[in-house]
Amino acid sequence: MFSLSAQEIYSNDVSCINNDGNVAKINASGLAEKKKEVYDNALKSIFNALFINGVDGINNGKPFLEKENSYYIDQFFKSRYQLFIRNSTEEGKPEKLSSGLYKGRVTAEVLIDALIKDMVRNRVMENPLENRTMEETQEEIPLPTIMVVPYKRNTNMSYAKILSTDFDLRMAVSAVDNGFKQLHVNTISVETRADMAQRSLDWEANNADSNDRQLLNNSGADVYVIVDIKKDISPSGSRVSLIMSARETSTGRTLASRSGWTNRFKTTELDRLCAYATQDVLSGFLKDISIEFAKKLTKGNTVALRVGLSDSSINTLNDRVGGSNVSIASLIRNWVRKTSQGGRYHIQGSVAESLIFDTIQIPTHDSDGLLLDASTYADNLAFFLEEQGISCEIRIDGNTIYVTID
């Protein structure tokens, strides 16, 4: 197959051999009426495919340009495309086809990263998330609030117990928490929250793992970072490795992970070694988290919704609303479908007494361009139900919304 653009014949016979993100090695065929134009057309076919059709192995197979920009493409092919080719090799001599056209193949090394920067600079492509600075990301979506917690080698031990008995992990958690603060990230102290939880009437007894899951869900932290530490102490010097994993509190989805040893230092002071370790990895680790959060601009935020009945309710979720043929459960399900990002949600279970959505993707911004969080989404649902004559109470724990219908 081939397409005609700007009076040139461009082949779609383009394949990526390998791609490291900066340079891609690409093989392509070229077609032309004149033998001397075959290899130039093959090179141009590479860029035509990258711009308009997409090439497997580059940009997830998607075209770089969401809509064709004829001015940029015409200027690019006229005088600039050679700037983005590092090397190219012609494969044999052109052969003449029965159609009268000549065909030949080339293998070229294309400067993908430079090409992307050129398209961004010319405003024909949005800057990819991984190329954005932290400041650019924060202009669109705020950095998440983070809680740093120790790694659990024993699920029967709570976070509070680990921090009170394991000096190494206590130092590691403290160093990472302080490192985030120096990067101007809002953090929530796990020890403070644990003390508050232990005084709460809702605290579950004698179950450390359940207690800590409850602590995380009620903490208000968007992300929790699990920290483990390894030490290597020797006469030649000391070093440590911090192993960190960031997970989204609402879903448990892993957002980022980093590890690595520091250089050796002439000290055995653990707080200093941990501080050196955070300097090495924390900025990149936070950027990984921010990139995942920036993806919410297109994918939306994740919340969970649990609908139940109050003890005094005389209704069930299968009852019809206002004499219609629509049940309360169907009404809520349709509202969620219409208000979720791209209609993406999943129902964990539905019975007469409860309706559970374990994931709902909600837009990051409402129709007015304001940030949309779980609280606002819950308020919108409550207003909708009241308009239908359904009285309810709302409670929010983290990104989980509890709706109790009277």
Number of domains in the chain: 3
Joined together, the tokens standing for residue 353 give 């007494």
Q: Please indicate, yes or no, if residue 140 is contained in any of the structural domains.
A: no
Q: Same structural domain for residues 170 and 108?
A: no
Alpha-carbon span 278 to 274, nearest angstrom: 6
Q: Same structural domain for residues 256 and 220?
A: yes
Who's near 317: CB < 8 A, 6+ residues apart? 307, 309, 327, 328, 329, 332, 350, 351, 352, 353, 354, 355, 405
Q: Same structural domain for residues 176 and 292?
A: yes
Question: For every one of its 406 residues, what pLDDT tens digit does the chain have, with 9 covering 90 and above?
Answer: 334 343 467 888 999 999 998 999 999 999 998 988 999 999 999 999 999 999 999 988 989 998 778 889 888 998 899 999 999 999 888 999 998 899 999 999 999 999 998 998 898 887 776 666 666 666 666 778 899 999 998 878 888 889 889 999 999 999 999 999 988 888 998 888 877 766 654 545 556 667 787 788 777 788 999 999 999 988 888 999 999 999 988 778 888 999 888 888 888 888 888 888 888 888 888 888 888 877 766 667 788 899 998 888 777 898 888 778 889 999 999 999 999 988 889 998 888 888 999 889 888 777 777 777 888 899 999 999 999 888 889 988 767 899 999 8
Q: Same structural domain for residues 329 and 270?
A: no
Per-residue pLDDT at 219: 78
CA dihedral 369, 371, 375, 381 (to 10 degrees): 30
Burial label for 160, CB within 10 Å (0-12, 13-18, 19+), is buried
Q: Same structural domain for residues 152 and 272?
A: yes
Q: Please indicate, yes or no, if residue 138 is contained in any of the structural domains.
A: no
Per-residue pLDDT at 151: 93
Whether 249 and 223 have beta carbons less than 8 Å apart is answered as yes
Q: Same structural domain for residues 63 and 87?
A: yes
Joined together, the tokens standing for residue 62 give 């998607």
Collapsing DSSP to helix, strand or coil, 304 comes out as: strand
Q: Which domain-ending residue is among 126, 156, 178?
A: 126
Alpha-carbon span 143 to 136, nearest angstrom: 11
Cα-to-chain-centroid distance, residue 114 = 24
Alpha-carbon span 400 to 356, nearest angstrom: 11
What CATH number does residue 95 fall under? 3.10.129
DSSP letters, 208-262, are HHHHHHHHHHHS--SEEEEEEEEEEEETTEEEEEEEEEEEETTT--EEEEE--BP
Per-residue pLDDT at 200: 55
Q: Same structural domain for residues 329 and 192?
A: no
Joined together, the tokens standing for residue 334 give 């349709």
Q: Which domain holds residue 339?
A: 300-405
Q: What are phi and psi of 340, to 5 degrees?
A: -80, 160
Q: Same structural domain for residues 209 and 312?
A: no
Q: Same structural domain for residues 323 and 371?
A: yes
pTM, rounded to two decimals: 0.59
Q: Please indicate, yes or no, if residue 137 is contained in any of the structural domains.
A: no
What CATH number does residue 237 fall under? 3.40.50
